[in-house]
Structure 1
Amino acid sequence: MHILDIYIISDSLGETGALVAKAAISQFTTQDYSIKRFPYIHTLDELKAILEKASIKQNTIVIYTLVKSILADYTKEYTDEMGILAIDIMNPIIDALQEKIGTPPVREAGIIRKLDDDYFSRVEAIEFAVKYDDGKDPEGLENAELVLIGVSRTSKTPLSMYLGNRNIKVANVPLVIEIPPPKALFEIPSTKIIGLTNNAENLNRIRGERLKALGLGRGSSYATFERILDELEYAEKIMKKIGCPIIDVSNKAIEETAELILTLASKNSIDFNIQ
């Protein structure tokens, strides 16, 4: 028989209460205890049933993380009346923060888990952008929420990462004269495709700097005006064939282009879970 029963009562998972209880009990040598977690308690009837069980026990501690005032207040009243040792972990801290911040709390159960879900969703979107960057795997086009296409050095990768950080799954495909675009590009809805372009002067400068950084000479056709003009003409034909909107990224910051992309997507009735 356990000499100590620790009841963890929460209107969310009860992880906080359980972690605090385990951290505290670890300071004692006794192993004769049990921790019983009661998560997702949202009604007084559920709460009353648990507290009645606790009152029957000989040696019980109630630890509660109830953010809803009606539940927290009832727990305090009941445990005081029945002589049950009870510890409210959340509300003293919430009350202190309210006094300092000057605004009332939302009193929403499980909100920290919601924030965690948002974080992991954002990480997933960024990983998606990495996996389907630069046309690595055309199969990702079907699952992408947005697809960016354009010639080299039109900010496809940084835009994919930026939008991924906004919780949007983006794939990008380079348009190269010698390589036919993937068939999937013509099979997905054109409304989720955005074409990116740049003026020839900018591309000439950017590509020249890129070659210099790689230790290559500017003589490569990659940075010549003739090659760049041919690529831009080729890319424009594909974009017109697809029927997608085209954004000129010349002299635009990544953030500015991203907002234009989101505006176009909104006009096409694409609803993102933007964070």
Structure 2
Amino acid sequence: MIKNFLVYVLSDSVGDTAEQVARASAEQYKDSDYEIKKYPYVESKTKIDSIIESLNSENSIFVYTIVNKEISEYLRQKCEEKKVPYIDVMAPCLNTFTDFLGQEPVRESGVIRKLDEDYFKRVEAVEFAVKYDDGKDPRGILKADIVLIGVSRSSKTPLSMYLAHKNYKVVNIPLVKGSKVPDELFEVPRRKIIGLMIDPSDLIEIRRERIRVLGLDNSVDYVSIEKIYEELEYAEKIMRKVGCPVIDMTKKAVEEAANLVIDIINDLN
């Protein structure tokens, strides 16, 4: 019975999957001690030769996740030449998936890492949108990928959140007549700013529904058609001053508006 052994963990990515499998397996043998030597980003035969040459114990086993077929096959051959036991963690899964799906895998390394990176970027973007929603902190304007400006209830917040799920860091700034426009708005490139306008009759209906939900008096200036016209005129004036593109949000779904924003931003950058 082997009391001490080395586990060589190799991967053409970071190697977390191979390490977890190796550790979970090795832990099942309580009468033996083990050490893991991890080699991430093994992407060449030269690297494999170097690792094989460094073997300093007969009590070694290789566990690897290498999706590149040529490199994986080369490692297998080297292990067999050295009479070192090996486990190709990916092979059974890929073979079964290939038979099941009737297609060959792309054999691209680091796919999970890329997905994880994408996920964390999305989380960061959503947190950013929440932190800087509705002009809470104008300093966010200077850090944003996209700055949305418009009157209250012109879909700034839902559009910000939707774009955040597309990995864009978005700030939205309400344009309120009588309130100072943040200086930062005039410090960022115009290509980052998008104005949102909406038909007055639609806006008043949206605001009346909002008032009803909040249980407030329907006679407040917030739903006054005269005040709404004044707000929209003021917002249009600011947008002209900024020189930004403007999207008409009347009857537009958030998804449709988001696609327009992305198209505009991509065209201008």
Same fold (TM over 0.5): yes
2:53 match: 52
How much does 1:180 deviate?
Answer: 1.1
Letter of the structure 1 residue corresponding to residue 240 of structure 2: K
1:34 match: 35
SS at match of 2:120: helix
Contact map agreement 2:11 2:66 (CA 8 A) in 1: yes
How much does 1:58 deviate?
Answer: 2.1
Match runs of 1:134-213 below 5 Å:
134-213=134-213
Contact map agreement 2:3 2:31 (CA 8 A) in 1: no
In structure 2, relative to structure 1, the CA distance for the partners of 1:267 and 1:33 (3 Å cut) is closer
2:262 match: 262
SS at match of 1:147: strand
2:219 match: 219
Q: Specify every segment of 5 or more residues in structure 1 that has no aligned partner in the other structure, as ranges.
A: 270-275
1:78 match: 78
Contact map agreement 1:2 1:34 (CA 8 A) in 2: no
Partners in 1 of 2:188 and 2:76 — Cα distance? 58
1:25 match: 26
1:92 match: 92
Letter of the structure 2 residue corresponding to residue 37 of structure 1: K
How big is each residue's C-alpha offset from its partner over 1:4-31, in whole Å with a ceiling of 9 and x where there is no partner?
A: 1111111111111111111112222135
Contact map agreement 2:4 2:32 (CA 8 A) in 1: no
How big is each residue's C-alpha offset from its partner over 1:41-84, in whole Å with a ceiling of 9 and x where there is no partner?
A: 11111102212333x52211111111111121112222223321
TM-score normalised over the length of structure 2: 0.95
Contact map agreement 1:129 1:170 (CA 8 A) in 2: yes
TM-score normalised over the length of structure 1: 0.93
1:239 match: 239
How big is each residue's C-alpha offset from its partner over 1:100-150, in whole Å with a ceiling of 9 and x where there is no partner?
A: 222222222212101110111111111111111100111111111111000
Is the counterpart of residue 12 in structure 1 residue 41 in structure 2? no
Q: How many residues align?
A: 268
- Taking every aligned residue pair, what percent have the same amino acid on both sides? 47
In structure 2, relative to structure 1, the CA distance for the partners of 1:49 and 1:267 (3 Å cut) is closer
1:102 match: 102
Match runs of 1:243-254 below 5 Å:
243-254=243-254
How big is each residue's C-alpha offset from its partner over 1:194-236, in whole Å with a ceiling of 9 and x where there is no partner?
A: 1101111111111111111111120111111011111011111
Q: Which piece of structure 1 moves more, 102-111 or 160-169?
A: 102-111
Contact map agreement 2:148 2:156 (CA 8 A) in 1: yes
